[in-house]
Amino acid sequence: MPPRWKSTDQHDLVERPSRKRPLPADPYEVPDEDDAIPSAKRQRRQPEDGGTPSKRNATPRKQVDFLQRDLASVPEEPESPTEQTPSKKRIGRPPKARTGGTPSGKPSTPSALRKKQVDETPIKLKGISGVDTPGRRGIADRSARRKSARALIDRVLEGAVSDDEDEEQQIAREIYESSEEEEEGDTHQENLADQQAELAATTPSKTGRGRGRGGRPPGSARRKKSPTPPRDLPPHEQYFYQNKPGSNKTSNNTLSSLDLLTHEEYFSLLRNLGQDPHEKHIEALQSQHAASFPQWAFELSQGFSVCLYGYGSKRRILHQFAEYLFSSSGGSNDTNNNTTIIMINGHTRTLTFREILTTISAAIDPTFRLPSGNPLAMIQNLFTLLSSSFSQKPARITLLLSSLDSPFSPLRKPQTQSLLAHLSSHPAISLACTVDTPNFPLLWDSSLRSSFNFAFHDCTTFADHSKELDVVDEVHELLGRMGKRAGGKEGVAFVLRSLPENARKLFGLIVGEVLVAFEDGGGGGGGGGSSGAGEFAAGGEGPGVEYRMLYNKAVEEFICSSEMAFRTLLKEFHDHQIITSHKDSIGTEYLSLPFRKEELESILEELMS
Amino acid sequence: MAETHDENPVLSEEDDHRVFYIFNPRAGLHTSLPQEKTARPVKKRRVTSKRAWSVSAADHAGVAPHAEEETETTTAVAATAAFSQLFGGKESVEAAGLRRQVFDTAWPVLDGRIKNVLREANRTTLEDVSSFIRDAEGDATRGTRIPAGFIITGPNIASQDLLFEQLSEALGKATQARFVRLRAAGAPNLKAALKKVIRDATAQVSLDGGDGDEDTEVALGRDGRKYLDYDLEGLHAFLGVQQDSSRRVVVAFEDSEAFESSLLTDLLGLFHSWQGRIQFSVLFGIATSVELFQARLLKSTARQLFGAKFDVVQADLVLDNVFKSAIAGTQATLRLGPTLLRSLLDRQRDQVAGIRVFISSIKYAYMCHFYANPLSVLLADEKSLTRQLLQPEHIQAVRTLVSFKAHVEAAVDARQLNHAQLLVEDDGYLVRQMVEQRQKKQDYLMQLLRSLHLLTSMDLVPGRFTDLYVAALAGGLDLTPTIDGIKRLGADDVPALINRLLTAIRTGSPDLDLPGWEDEAEELISSLCEIRDEIEALAEQAQEKGQQALKSKFTAQSKVLRTTVIAQKVQLSQDTAKLTDEDKAFGKAIDALVDLLTHHIYSDPVDSLFLHEAWAYDAEAPYRDVFVPRPGTTFERALTRPHAYLGCECCSKANGTLSATLPTTCILYRLYLETGSLVNVADLWSAYYALVGEDSVDGGLGEREALVQFYHGLAELRLMGFVKSSKKKADHVAKVKWLL
C-alpha cells in the first residue's frame, strides 16, 4: 500500500466509529467526509421519505447519483470541501480543475489499483490448490474498499473521466461493492424489511433518474459481482460475468522471458520425453473402442452414418476400423472385394470437396473421368455412374473422414456439409467420420442431420493429436507469434525471384545485417538492436537493424540512390510480409525479418549462390 | 515424429499428410492415387496441379478390382455376414446368422409399409397441386401471370425432402412438365439458379469444365447453335426441339424463406418475361405463412404471380400413421416398449426431429435388439428355429430373465409346483414352454390390438392413438376411460355405437394391418346385436307411450337437484327422477353392454408376459446415446475426470483437484475454467509449470519438457475450439467456450 494513501485515509479511520453509531443497521457505510452531504440531504428529505432516511444511500452508485443531484440542486451545503463549483460538475464533462479535497487521490489511484490487480492472479492460483486465508483477505479488502470508495467519490466530484481511467473506476466500484456483499451477509436479515420499506417509499421518478447513469434498483445491489470471480456460477452466468465490459483485466506478464520452442527443439524434446504414463490406459481404451467395430460396421451397412466424437485423436481408431472393414468385407483377393474404403484426412487445409468426388469416381471406375464443375452436378454425375455400375459390378464406397469439423478444414463450410450429406444419402455410399470439437452438432440442421442419418458414438481416446496438429505452429499462431509470412523460406525465394536485381541485393543486405545483429546479440534471446532488443525478442522475431544505417549501406552499395527508391523497395518486402518494421520509444525505426537464424542463413546462401 | 507407440506399421506418417487415399493394406503400401497430395497442413499454398488423375496409374496400382463375373448384390453380401457371436463368443454361428436373417426379413417388410404410408400421406396434396398446375394453363383469368403454388410445409424442413421428391414424380406424370428443385444453398445467385434450372430442365449432364464461374456454351437447339448455359433462350430452343405439346417447366423453391428476396424477384421477373415462350410454374415450400412470404416480395413481383395455397398433412398425422403401421401394426416383429416409445414420441414433439429420424430410430431399435439380444433368435419362424440351434446358453439365459422368475413365482403361488419345478430343472420342458409362448404372444398382441381398435372406434376416448398404445403397453388396458362416456349415451347413440363396434370387428383396421375377426367373435357380435335390438325396441315402446326419449339412471337428466325454500332456509335435495319401466330396462341394457365390453376389451402390461424379453425391446439408453449425443458432457467428463475413461490410479486420486499426473490438456482445461474471457498465456504457463515443474511436489518436468507438453495442451485446446487468438493484448488468447 503506498503510504500516500494512508495519510488521506487517516481521518477516515478516526472518524469512522462515530459515524457508524447513528446508523448501525446500514451496511452501505459511506466514507466519511462525504457523508456530510447525504446526511444533510437526509435531513432535508426526512419528511417526505416517510421516516426511512438512512436507506437513501442503499447503493454506492445511487449515492453517487444523488450526490450529484444534491450538488446541483442544493448548492447551499456548507461543509464539504469538494463542492466548490457544484453546479457545473453535474454529469460533468469536460474535466474541471481538480477539486481541493482530493489533490493526491487521483494520480495515485491507478498505480495502486494496478498493483493490486497484478497481485490477484497468484491469489487465484493459490485458491485452486486450496490455500486461502480469508482473514487477511478480508482486511485487505476492507482497506481496498475504503480506497475505492474514495476513488468513486473523487470521480463523481471531478465529473469527467478519461477513457483509460474508466477501468480503474470500474475496479474501484467492484472492490467497494464486493465488501458490501460480505458485510451484507450479516445484516441481511434486518435490512430486508428496511429495504422494502425504502423501496416503497422511494418516489418512482427519483429512482428512475438514478438508474439513468447505470445504477440499478436498490434491491439488486447485492448481486453486483466482486473482482475475484465467484465460484460455482452456472456457465451462462459466468459468460455474462466474464464478458461484461472492463472485467477482463489480466496481468501484463508476457512470455518474453521464455524462449519459445522451435520445430526442431519441439521434436527433439518430444522424442526424449519418453512414454506417456497413461500409455497403457490409452491402449486399453482403444481396444475397448475396437470392440465395437462390428457394431459400427453393421450400422454402416444399414444406411447409418457413423460419427465418432469425444476427446482425443481418433485417427488410429479410424484407421483400425478401416482395416477391420477391409478384412471383413471378405476381400481376400481383390476380385472379390467390391467395397472401396476411402480415407480422407479432414484436418488438411488444402482439401477440397471436388477432389473427394474425383477420388470416389476414380475408385468406382478408373476409366471414367468425372467432369468437374459445380459440385452438386458432380454428385449427380457420380450417382449416375454408381447406378450404372451397379449393373455390372456392385460398388460400395465407404468414406472414412477424420476431423470433419476441423476449424482449418474447408469441410466445415455449410455448403460442403450439405453436399456431403447429399453424398452420404446415397445407398451405396456410407460415411464414417470423426469430429473433434464439442459443439459439432451445430454443424447440421435437422434436415441435414436426417439425410446424414447419423449414429453417434462416444469415442474418447485420449490419444494425442500430434499427427493432425502442427503443435508449434498452432501455438505460435494462437499467440500471434507467427508473422504471416509468405510460406517460409521457399516463399521468400519465390518472392525474390520475381523482384528486380536491386531488390534481391537489398534483401541480401538486410539478411546479412540481421545475421550480424544475431551474432552481436548472442542469439535470438538477447536481441541485437540496441534499444529495441527486448521488444524484438518479445516478438519472437530476430533482432532488428536500424533503418537509417541500412539506407546508408544500401546507398554505398549502389542499390538505390534515393530514399524514395529505398522505400519503394522496402514496400515490396512489406507487401509480401517478409520484413517487419518497428519503432522504438525514441522513434528510431528498426527493420527485422520474421525468420529464425537458421532460416536466414539458408536464405542468404540461396541469395548468394 | 515419435512413432514409437504406434504398433501398427501401416499407419505411417505419410498417411497423415495425404489428403485422402484408398485404403488397401494388402498392397503393402496404400494404393494411392498417383497425384496424392503430400501437402503438410502448414502450407497454405495451393497445390496447383492436382486435377489430372492419371487413370492408367490408378489402374496399375489395382485400385478398383475388376470383377465382371461377380454379380452378387451388396445386400446379399451383407446378409451372409452374420452378427458377432454373443454369450461371450459361445453362441453358435448358426444362431448368430439366424438372428441376422430374422432382422433382414423383419425390417424390409416394415420399411415398405412405412414408405407406403408416407407416400399415401401426401397424396391429396400432390393431386391438388398437379391439378392446379394443369388447370392454370386454361385459366383465362390468369393472364400472363405465373402460376404459383404455395405449399405450407410447416416448420419441419426435414420432411420437405420427401414431399418435393413426390411432387416431382407426380407432376412429371400428371403434366409432363419438367421439374426443377431449387434449394437456397444450391442457388446462391441468379446465374447459379438459372444454370441449375436449365441444367435440370434439359436433364443434360453438364460437361462444363472448370469452376462454376466459367461460362460454357451448350448446344441445345436443333440447328446446333450454342447458348450460354444460363441463357433461357437455350432452354427455349431445347423445348422447341423436344416437340412437347406443353413447354412447361415447374420450378420448386424448396426452402423459399432461405432465398434472398432480391434473387426471388429477379428470377420471377425473368420467368415472367419468358412466360409467353416457356410455360413456367413455380412452387414455394413455405415454413411460415404466405403472408410473411408475400411481405418479402416486391409488390410488382407479387403481381406477377397467380397463386394458390396448399396445405400439407401435418407431421403429427403422418407420425400417427407411421406409428400405427410400423410400431403398433401386426406386421411389426418386434414390439417397442413403452419407455422407449415415450421418449421417441417426446423427441418428435419437442425437437421437431422429422419423420425420418423417427423411422431411423425404429430401425435402430430393431438393429439393437437383433444384434445384441441372443434370445431374439426365438423370433425366427418355426422351420429355421430347430432344437439344435438352442444352446445350453440360451436356456441358461432364459432362466435368468426377470419374466422367467416372475412366471415361476406365479406358478408356485398358484400351487402348480410341478410346473415350476420342471421349468427350473427340465430343459426340454422349458423349450416346449418357450415354443408355447410364441402362440401366447400372438394371442396377447391380437387381444391388445383388437381392444385398442374397439376402443378407438368407439370415438369416446380423448387423446391420440399413440398415447393410448403406449399407456396400454405400460400399464395394461381396460374399459375404464370410456365407461362414463358409454353410460352417458342416449338411446339413439347406443345403437350407433354398437354399429360402429360391429363394423370395427368386421373390417378390422387396415392401418394396423389388423384383419376383421368376425369368425372368432361370434359370441360378442351376437350379444352386441341383442343389446342393440333390445334398446331399439325399448325406444320404440317408449315412443309409443309418448315418452320423449329413453333415460337411463346414468344420464345427467335423471338426477334432479331440488331447491326448496323452507322457512327462509334453502334445502338442497337430490331426487332420482321417475324412471319408467322402459328407462329401467334401458339402464340394464347399458349395464349389460358395459359388462360385455369390459369382458372383451382388456390387455395386460407387456412386461407381465413370460419371455417378453425376446420380442419386446425397451432400452432407452442406446437410442439416446446414438441419436441425441451430449458431446459437451462427454468432453467435460473426459477433461475433468480423465480417470473415468482411463481407469488409471494416478488420476483417480486427484478426483476433482489438480494434479500433475493428469494429462496436460486436462490440467490446462481446469486452469482454463478459472480464467476470464481473456487468458494470459504467460500466466497460464507459469501456473502450469508451477504444477508440473521441477519445484512442484509431484511434478519434476524440466522447463523445456514442460513447455513441450504445454504447447501440446494449448494446441489441443485450440483444436477443440476452446480458445482463439486475440489481438487485445500481447500473449493473450480469448476464451470462447463457457457452456459445454
Per-residue pLDDT reduced to its tens digit, A465-504: 877 788 888 888 788 765 444 456 667 777 788 888 888 8
- A262 close to B (CB below 8 A): no
| pLDDT tier for residue A393 given thresholds of 50, 70 and 90 | low
**CB within 8 Å: B650 and A376:** no
Do the Cβ atoms of A394 and B196 come within 8 Å? no
Measured torsion, CA atoms of residues B300, B301, B304, B306, in degrees rounded to the nearest 10: -120
The predicted pLDDT at position A529 comes to 37
**Rounded to the nearest 5°, which phi and psi values hold at A155?**
-60, -45
Q: Are B31 and A366 in contact (CB under 8 A)?
A: no
Of A364, A446, A538, the CB nearest to B354: A446
A121/B683 touch (CB, cutoff 8 Å), yes or no? yes
Closest to A427 in 3D by CA, of A392, A383, A366:
A383
Q: For A155-188, what is each residue's pLDDT tens digit?
A: 666 554 444 445 555 655 665 555 444 444 444 4
Tell me how far the alpha carbon of residue A587 is from its chain's centroid.
Answer: 31
CB B375 within 8 A of CB B610: no
In what order do the strands lie in the sheet containing B732-735? B678-680, B732-735, B723-725
Chain A partners within 8 Å of B690 (Cβ): 125
Q: In the prediction, which pLDDT does A206 show?
A: 40
**Residue of chain A whose Cα is closest to the Cα of B634:** A310
Mutation target vs B (from A267, A298, A321, A484; most B CBs, 10 A cutoff): A298
Give B-chain residues touching A478 at CB under 8 angstroms: 681, 714-715, 718, 723-725, 733
- Return the C-alpha cell found at A553: 549501406
Backbone phi and psi for residue B229, each to the nearest 5 degrees, phi listed first: -80, 5
Beta bridge partners of A343: A400, B21
- Helices in A90-203 by DSSP H: which ranges? 105-128, 134-158, 163-201
H/E segment holding residue B284: strand B279-286
Residue A353, min C-alpha distance to chain B (Å)? 11
Which residue, A141, A298, A311, is CA-closest to B81?
A298
Identify from B162, B255, B716 which residue to disrupt to test chain A contact, counting A C-beta atoms within 10 A and taking the largest count.
B716
Say if the Cβ atoms of A447 and B352 lie within 8 Å.
no
| CB A459, CB A310: distance < 8 Å | yes
Closest chain B C-alpha to A376 CA, distance in angstroms: 8
Burial code (b: 16+ CB inside 10 Å, e: under 16) for A568-599 equals ebbebbeebebbbebebeeebbbbbbbbbbeb
Residue, of A139 and B101, whose pLDDT is higher:
B101
Chain B residues within an 8 Å CB radius of A393: 66-68, 70
Residue whose grid cell is 401426401: B122
* CA distance between the termini of chain A: 63
For residue A472, the distance in angstroms to the closest alpha carbon of chain B comes to 7
Q: What residues of chain A, 321 to 380, have a C-beta less than 8 Å from chain B?
A: 322-323, 326, 328-331, 334-338, 340-345, 347-351, 355-356, 358-359, 362-367, 369, 371-374, 376-377, 380
Percent pLDDT > 90 in chain A is 4
Rounded CA separation A543/A536 (Å): 6
Segment A445-459, tens digit of pLDDT: 877 888 888 999 999
Residues of A in contact with B186 (CB under 8 A): 376
- Spatial neighbors of B651 by CB under 8 A, at least 6 apart, are A278, B641, B642, B643, B659, B661, B662
pLDDT for res A406: 78
Contact residues, chain B, for A480 at CB < 8 Å: 725, 727, 730
Chain B residues with CB under 8 Å of A493 CB are: none
Q: Scanning every residue of chain B, which has its alpha carbon at the shortest distance from the alpha carbon of A427?
A: B74
CB contact under 8 A, A373 and B211: yes
Three-state secondary structure call for residue A546: strand
For residue A420, CA distances in Å to A127, A424, A506, B211 come to 48, 6, 50, 18
* H/E run at residue B673: helix B664-674
Answer yes or no: do A271 and B2 touch at CB < 8 A. Answer: yes
How many Å lie between the alpha carbon of A108 and the closest alpha carbon of chain B?
24
Cβ(A362)–Cβ(B53) below 8 Å: yes
A438 contacts B635? CB cut-off 8 A: yes
Interface of A with B in 486-545 (CB under 8 A): 487-488, 491, 538
pTM for the structure as a whole:
0.68
The residue ranking higher by pLDDT, A391 or B139, is B139
- Report which of B465, B394, B402, B486 is spatially closest to residue B434, judged by C-alpha positions: B394
| B279-286 and B146-152 beta bridge pairing | parallel
Q: What is the pLDDT of residue A414?
A: 80
Q: What domains sit in chain B, N to C, each tagged with a CATH number?
A: 2-81 (no CATH), 85-120+314-478+601-629 (no CATH), 123-312 (3.40.50.300), 646-735 (1.10.10)
- The reply to whether B73 touches chain A by the CB within 8 Å rule is yes
**Residue B318 host element (H or E):** helix B315-322
pLDDT of residue B196: 82
ipTM of this complex: 0.78
pLDDT of residue A384: 79
Residue B652 contacts A, CB cutoff 8 Å: no
- Which residues between 103 and 122 in chain A have a beta carbon less than 8 angstroms from any beta carbon of chain B? 121
- Among all chains, which residue has been given the C-alpha cell 319408467? B580
Which residues in chain A have their CB less than 8 angstroms from residue B721's CB? Answer: 407, 437-439
The residues, any chain, with a CB within 8 Å of residue A511's CB and separated by 6 or more, are A593, A600, A603, A604, A607
The region that residue A274 occupies, defined by phi over 0 for left and psi between -120 and 50 for alpha, beta otherwise, is left
pLDDT at A46: 45
Q: What is the CA radius of gyration of chain A?
A: 35
Per-residue pLDDT for A23 more than 80? no
Distance from CA of A271 to the nearest CA of B (A): 6
- The closest CB to that of A255, out of B51, B658, B681, belongs to B681
Other C-beta atoms within 10 Å of A380: how many? 16
Q: Is B243 left (phi over 0), alpha (psi -120 to 50) or beta?
A: left
Q: Which of B25, B68, B708 is closest, CB to CB, to A326? A: B25
Nearest CA in chain A to B704: A269
B158 to A446: CB separation less than 8 angstroms, yes or no: yes
Residue B382: CB atoms within 10 Å: 8
Select from B72, B681, B707 the Cβ nearest to the Cβ of A479: B681
DSSP A486: S
Helix (H) or strand (E) holding A309: strand A305-309
Nearest Cα neighbor of A362 from B26, B68, B199, B35 is B35
The one-letter amino acid at A39: S
Alpha-carbon distance of B738 to B740, in angstroms, equals 6
Mark yes or no for CB contact A458/B629 under 8 Å.
yes
- In chain B, the residue whose alpha carbon lies closest to the alpha carbon of A231 is B674
- Is the Cβ of A287 closer than 8 Å to some Cβ of chain B? no
The packing angle between helices A3-20 and A32-49, to 10°, is 30
Contact residues, chain B, for A254 at CB < 8 Å: 682, 730-731
Cell for A222?
Answer: 447485492
Q: How many CB pairs under 8 A join A and B?
A: 415
Residue B499's contacts (CB-CB under 8 Å, 6 or more residues apart) are B532
Residues 683-712 on B with a CB inside 8 Å of A are: 683, 685-687, 690, 704-705, 707-709, 711-712
Per-residue burial over B504-515, b if 16 or more Cβ lie within 10 Å, else e, is bbeebbebbbbe
Low-confidence ranges of chain B (pLDDT < 50): 1-13, 28-80, 204-216
